[in-house]
Amino acid sequence: MDLATLRDVTFTYAYAEMPALEGVTLQLQRGQLYGVVGINGSGKSTLCSLLRGLIPHFHQGTLEGTVEILGKDLGEWDAAELSRTIGCVFDNPFTQISGIKDTVFEEIAFGLENLGVSRSDMLDRVTSVSEQMGITALLRKNPNELSGGQRQKVAFASIIAMDSEVLVIDEPTSQLDPQSSHAVFEIIADLKARGKSIVLVEHKIDLMAQFADRLVVMRSGEVVAEGPTAQVLASPAMDAADVPRPEVTDLAFALEAVGKGLGCVPVTRREAEAAIATRMRGTQIHADRVA
Amino acid sequence: MSALSPEAASAPSGGTFDGVVSHGNWIRDMHPLNVAVVLASISLLALATPRPVGLVSGCVAFLGIAVAAGVGGSFARLYAKLVVGVGLVLFVLRAAFVHGNHVLFELGPLAPTWEGVREGTTFALVVMALCGALTLYFVLVPMKTFMLALELKGMPPQATYILLASFQAITDLGRSARTVMDAQKSRGIETEGNLWVRARAFVPILAPVFITALNQTEERAIALDARAFNSGIPHTHVLQLRPAPAWERAATALTAAACLATIGAGLLWT
């Protein structure tokens, strides 16, 4: 059973003139980490809302085409069942705090309370997630008084504590520093390793290149490419969607343009280092022979 | 019935919970509903006994309870503000405008009477007795603990959420208003000075503040859905109420019974 199947899906928000999604056809497999990239207004967040079932349950508009989530038509899903099955982290950390809890500990436990998790399990999960996220120092603080980045971590921790089968994550690192962003990606990779299906919207393309199994590239509400990350990053679809490539990929293309290609198109720093090291070894051997 | 441990469940220590923690004061450690019963009983007794002695006694009793609970200072400050801001205003309005036979003095169109002063005193004291009970309750019992007690008694979580979120909204609106005011100030708009200057600066920010709050409502609803708030599963609670000892239950019942008996006796006597 697929994670999601979208066939020729078009969605227009109520009172909007243009569709936010247009003719989207996608098949997402379970157990994979899908990265969704695209410039602002390309339909990434709308796609997240659709996959999470917020469309049509919360957001009003006209939905055409077929959407199946975990083998079941979206219209047949009960909103409560969806909320238990698919965890969702939004891009705005300021509205993701419940607003009624006095400590971060209680805030993270809030979703678990709603799922009827026993108190002892709750304590274990909150403790474990907060250690994983590196926010144990925040546990006694009031979530309403945290900075944007801290709130983002707490919101993310709150959702992963719920241990949903599927996670839809919309720009989880928009307010985080590079170190924290990398840590969040490590956690996402760990979740994937534990069998979770993940759809991740993110602008940090270098991290996407490193962690995503497959990439979905969007432009003006349309999916312009979908496939294995390395293949998509090297494809012209990235230029068509105005999405920047990883710096190392750009470097490889620049070298190729001047006839000094690396022999491969690296998308991660590690791949680039390996390719450059090979080149340098080759150059050294050549120099030794000449000498 | 169980009693509260308001900070216990929210007090992780070394990554784990400390368990039930006390405020170190038996009044503040009472179950939220027991506190409500005791304060309501005292209020009823104060209202039912001859005036103004009963009402003054009620107000003094609240102050005494606050001191015994170790919150005398904070309660007295809050109560004093209410006495001045509400009680005094009500008294003056009644004293100045209620007609009577014994005019104390005349000041233009105003002619306060002895009857007006008496009625104003009684009315202000009634309001202050009721305000005192409410104020003391929320000084003694954190809102979330009270809501938890109600939820455990069967109140729907949606209702307790609305109440808690409404209280939080007051803080959020205040914060949002300050942010907009600071932004105005940084643009050179005068926001400080006399009452007129402040009012003139404050009124235009009300619309953006409330519109922002309304916009956030939908996102908040979605965020609640993301936390499975309407999962259809009975909710559990990370906060725990301290089990109420037998003596507390007995003392609450006795206080309520004594107050009601006194009121009943008073009614039968008259």
- Cα separation, A99 vs A118, in Å, equals 23
Query: In this structure, are B42 and B109 located in the same domain?
Result: yes
Query: In this structure, are B161 and B109 located in the same domain?
Result: no
pLDDT score for B20? 54
Which tokens belong to B243?
Answer: 């089990």
pLDDT tens, A213-242?
A: 999 999 999 999 999 999 999 999 999 999
Residue B78 has pLDDT above 70, yes or no: yes
Residue B252 within a domain: yes
In B, which residues are within 8 Å of A115 by CB distance? Answer: 228, 231, 233
In B, which residues are within 8 Å of A101 by CB distance? Answer: 144
Query: Number of A:B CB contacts under 8 A?
Result: 124
pLDDT tens, A72-116?
A: 999 899 988 999 999 999 888 888 888 888 899 999 999 999 999
- Contact at CB, B168 and A144, closer than 8 angstroms: yes
Q: How far apart are the CA of B5 and the nearest CA of chain A, in angstroms?
A: 14
Number of domains in chain B: 2
Q: Where is average pLDDT lowest: A9-18, A274-283, B155-164, B237-246?
A: A274-283
- Contact at CB, B218 and A92, closer than 8 angstroms: no
Query: In this structure, are B179 and B88 located in the same domain?
Result: no
Which tokens belong to B252?
Answer: 């609450």
Residue B47 has pLDDT above 80, yes or no: yes
Q: Average pLDDT for residues A183-212, to the nearest whole number?
A: 94
Q: Can you list the alpha helix ranges (DSSP code H) found in B13-71?
A: 32-48, 53-68
Half-sphere exposure of A116 (CA within 13 A, CB side): 6
Nearest CA in chain B to A97: B223
In A, which residues are within 8 Å of B21 by CB distance? Answer: none
Q: Which of B231, B235, B239 to mutate: most A Cβ within 10 Å? A: B231
Q: Average pLDDT for residues B105-126, to the nearest whole number?
A: 88
**Class level of CATH domain A4-245:** alpha beta
pLDDT score for A16? 93
The DSSP letter of residue A93 is G
Query: In this structure, are B25 and B59 located in the same domain?
Result: yes
Q: How far apart are the CA of A53 and the nearest CA of chain B, in angstroms?
A: 11
Q: Average pLDDT for residues B170-188, to the nearest whole number?
A: 82
pLDDT tens, A193-207?
A: 999 999 999 999 999
- Contact at CB, B172 and A144, closer than 8 angstroms: yes
Q: Where is average pLDDT lowest: A4-8, A226-230, A232-236, B95-99?
A: B95-99
Per the DSSP assignment, residues forming a β-bridge with B13 are B16
Please name which of A126, A201, A202, A204 lies closest in space to residue A162, comparing C-alpha atoms. Answer: A126
pLDDT score for B191? 74
Share in percent of chain A as helix, strand, coil (round to 5): 45, 20, 30
Residue B214 has pLDDT above 90, yes or no: no
pLDDT score for B15? 36
Interface check for B9 against chain A (CB to CB < 8 A): the answer is: yes
Q: Average pLDDT for residues A159-164, to the nearest whole number?
A: 94
Q: Which of B12, B222, B236 minimises the CB distance to A118?
A: B236
Query: In this structure, are B179 and B68 located in the same domain?
Result: no
- Cα separation, B12 vs B195, in Å, equals 45
pLDDT tens, B4-33?
A: 333 444 444 333 344 455 678 889 989 999
Q: Average pLDDT for residues A249-272, to the nearest whole number?
A: 90
pLDDT score for B14? 36
Please name which of A198, A190, A168, A208 lies closest in space to residue A48, comparing C-alpha atoms. Answer: A168
Sign of CA dihedral B17, B22, B24, B28: positive
pTM: 0.82
In B, which residues are within 8 Å of A144 by CB distance? Answer: 168, 171-172
- Contact at CB, B226 and A159, closer than 8 angstroms: yes
| Angle at the Cα of A149 from the Cα atoms of A146 and A155, rounded to 5 degrees | 80
- Cα separation, A229 vs A243, in Å, equals 14
Query: In this structure, are B261 and B178 located in the same domain?
Result: no
Residue A68 has pLDDT above 80, yes or no: yes
The one-letter amino acid at B119 = E
Range of the domain at B30: 12-142+240-269
- Contact at CB, B226 and A127, closer than 8 angstroms: no
Enumerate residues 6+ apart whose C-beta is below 8 A from B251.
none
Q: Average pLDDT for residues A48-77, to the nearest whole number?
A: 92
Residue B52 within a domain: yes
Query: In this structure, are B109 and B218 located in the same domain?
Result: no
Query: In this structure, are B133 and B37 located in the same domain?
Result: yes
Residue B189 has pLDDT above 90, yes or no: no
- Contact at CB, A113 and B164, closer than 8 angstroms: no
pLDDT score for B165? 87
- Cα separation, A60 vs B246, in Å, equals 54
Q: What is the DSSP string of B153-205?
A: TT--HHHHHHHHHHHHHHHHHHHHHHHHHHHHHHTT----SSHHHHHHHHHHH
- Contact at CB, A122 and B238, closer than 8 angstroms: yes
Query: In this structure, are B84 and B210 located in the same domain?
Result: no
Please indicate whether residue A144 or residue A39 has the higher confidence score (pLDDT). A39
Which tokens belong to B200?
Answer: 């003139």
Residue B269 has pLDDT above 90, yes or no: no
Burial degree of A147 (CB within 10 A; 0-12, 13-18, 19+)? exposed
Q: Where is average pLDDT lowest: A44-48, B167-171, B231-235?
A: B167-171
Q: Which of A92, A103, A114 minimises the CB distance to B228?
A: A114
Query: In this structure, are B25 and B90 located in the same domain?
Result: yes
Which tokens belong to A237?
Answer: 């679809």
- Cα separation, A256 vs A258, in Å, equals 5
Q: How far apart are the CA of B245 and the nearest CA of chain A, in angstroms?
A: 22
Q: How far apart are the CA of B171 and the nearest CA of chain A, in angstroms?
A: 10
pLDDT score for B254? 95
Residue B221 within a domain: yes
The one-letter amino acid at B172 = D
Q: Which of A95, A117, A136 minimises the CB distance to B216?
A: A95
Q: Average pLDDT for residues B183-192, to the nearest whole number?
A: 79
Query: In this structure, are B215 and B104 located in the same domain?
Result: no
pLDDT score for B4? 36
CATH 3.40.50.300 in chain A is located at 4-245
Q: How far apart are the CA of B36 and the nearest CA of chain A, in angstroms?
A: 22
Which of residues 158 through 187 in chain B touch A, CB cutoff 8 A? 161, 164-165, 168-169, 171-172
Q: Are A4 and A204 in contact (CB under 8 A)?
A: no
Using pLDDT thresholds of 50, 70 and 90, give the confidence band for residue B40. very high
- Contact at CB, A139 and B17, closer than 8 angstroms: no
Please indicate whether residue B243 or residue A242 has the higher confidence score (pLDDT). A242
In B, which residues are within 8 Å of A87 by CB distance? Answer: 226
- Contact at CB, A106 and B9, closer than 8 angstroms: yes
Share in percent of chain B as helix, strand, coil (round to 5): 65, 5, 30
Complex prediction ipTM:
0.83
Percent of chain A at pLDDT exceeding 90: 76
- Contact at CB, A111 and B227, closer than 8 angstroms: yes
